[in-house]
Amino acid sequence: MGQKLLLAALASSAFFYAIQRWKKGTQAVMVLLIFEGAIRKWIFPESQQLVYFAKDVLLLGCYAGYVRDRAPHRYRIPMPPILALLLSLGAAWGALEIFNPRLPNFLVGVFGYKAYFFYIPLMFLFPACFDDDRQLNAFLRRYCQIAFPVALIGMLQFVSSPGSAINAYATGGGEEAGIVTFGSSEHVRITGTFAFITGYTSYLLATSTLLLALLGASRWKFSANRKLYLVLAMSLLAMLMTGSRGPVFTLAVIFPFYWYLAIMREGDAGLTVSRAGLTLGVVVAAIAFFGGQALTAFLGRAAGSSDVPGRMLSPFLSPLQILPDAGLLGYGIGAAHQMARPLAPSIIPYSWLHGLQTELETGKIMLELGPLGFTLVYLARLTLVAVAFRYATTLRTRFHRALATGAFLYFLVQLVGSPVFDVTSGVYYWFFAGLMMLAARLDREAVALAAAAVPSAASAPRLALGRPPRQVVPALPRWSSPVPPES
């Protein structure tokens, strides 16, 4: 009881702090997301559910502070009308699904609605948290560097026995029988500071995408990116130690898109290609030399995989298979969520689904929301992909284009990802949406400022859309330079 009272007091203090300092609070939410699992499994194991909602309480305070603050610039994000319409219609349909009679209780519907829509306001908060490129670049670099100590914890988990306390899960203790290993060896599949493997792999994928964006923005220069290179190597090694093939395969799929958008389309592609190729070669060699056991364990697990084509097609086939049983209205928002079981303890788990089960988010969304809700959700996701690609090819400065490229890559991956049913992916999904909107806002402000400095309209170069590297842009002020200095 004393532990719960302490957590309640901390949550109340964090909530009121976030109302007053919502910009700092929003950044703190992103940091808390990384360490929430560590707090749950190592510091407050008896109050895991309360800690699970800590970031949500903090974020709710940020929302309240954002609404209360009437700073006009926060409304100036370039929100495409079609995206606003799809999100509004999706939120309205989700609200109706809370009252679906197939749900076991009202609480399941409320939690399901939270899983779908609670983190969307990050798309508005994040663009209002930074005034210029220098602030944003400094935050993103510091944030990526957090992955280094998290990876060190993961390495310690990898060499520790399955029964070690450091390998405990937040879902129920650290009994040796419950710890997942590689099968071919006694090495555990690491979780870092996260509650389970899934959350850590989602974090590693988001961090790697953000690292690639920052490296592309700085032309993969050696002197400015030594720390980021080290973090990238550690993150890739940690991916191997998780034993999850998905993130590794995903990076391999999206890397050609990154290579084209962030490197080949830019004006100095030849020099950047040399730097990137050399750096990636050194990173791969270092992983092979220092991470031999991790690489062996990962390859041993990957070699045992089967039906790879079927697994690749299943996210697209799953909703079609569920459609005939889902009906027009589905089974209600939250019906297939993992938290539905503890929210309806008096009912046989998932008996309300009448035997319909799927592990894939595409199928779960069809099962919960029906065909109309499914269509609205995925049309919004496709729209975000299209908007991010447009920004990645039309924004005026390299820094902004690189951030939009990172958002495009992440949105592309999450078309078959789990931003609803995996909370880590969900937070990062809307974080990248906010990052994309912030890049567009800062780019627009930089171009307007540069245009105002031109003596006459006749002598000013045209700012038409097209291939940005081929155009001459007026000199930008130092704070909005394409490659912000490292802080």
Please state, in angstroms and rounded to a whole number, the distance separating the CA atoms of residues 87 and 75.
17
pLDDT at 459 over 70: no
Q: What is the mean pLDDT of residues 199-227?
A: 95
Domain ranges of the chain: 82-130+306-487
**pLDDT on residue 144:** 97
Q: How many CB atoms lie within 10 A of CB 220?
A: 25
- What tokens appear for 286 in the block? 């270092």
Please state, in angstroms and rounded to a whole number, the distance separating the CA atoms of residues 389 and 395.
10
Tens of pLDDT, residues 187-196: 899 999 999 9
Q: What's the chain's average pLDDT?
A: 88
**pLDDT on residue 74:** 56
Tens of pLDDT, residues 39-89: 999 998 888 888 888 899 999 999 999 988 876 555 567 789 999 999 999
**pLDDT on residue 421:** 96
**pLDDT on residue 175:** 44
**pLDDT on residue 270:** 86
Written as one string, the DSSP assignment of 173-217 is: B--GGGS-B-SSSSPBPP-TTSSSHHHHHHHHHHHHHHHHHHHHH
pLDDT at 231 over 60: yes
**pLDDT on residue 198:** 93
Please state, in angstroms and rounded to a whole number, the distance separating the CA atoms of residues 435 and 439.
6
pLDDT at 440 over 70: yes
- What tokens appear for 80 in the block? 């495409």
Taking alpha carbons only, the member of 213, 234, 235, 232 closest to residue 279 is 232
Identify the band that residue 454 occupies on the pLDDT scale cut at 50, 70 and 90.
low
Tens of pLDDT, residues 252-308: 999 999 999 999 988 778 888 999 999 999 999 998 888 888 888 888 877 766 666
**Angle at CA of residue 379, ends 376 and 380, nearest 5°:** 85
**pLDDT on residue 466:** 40
Handedness of CA 283, 285, 291, 296 (dihedral sign): positive
Tens of pLDDT, residues 141-185: 999 999 999 999 999 999 999 889 999 998 644 444 478 888 767
Identify the band that residue 221 occupies on the pLDDT scale cut at 50, 70 and 90.
very high
**pLDDT on residue 268:** 79
The identity of residue 123, as a single letter, is: M
Tens of pLDDT, residues 331-376: 999 999 999 998 998 899 899 999 988 989 999 999 999 999 999 9
* Residue found by looking up tokens 């802080």 in the block: 487
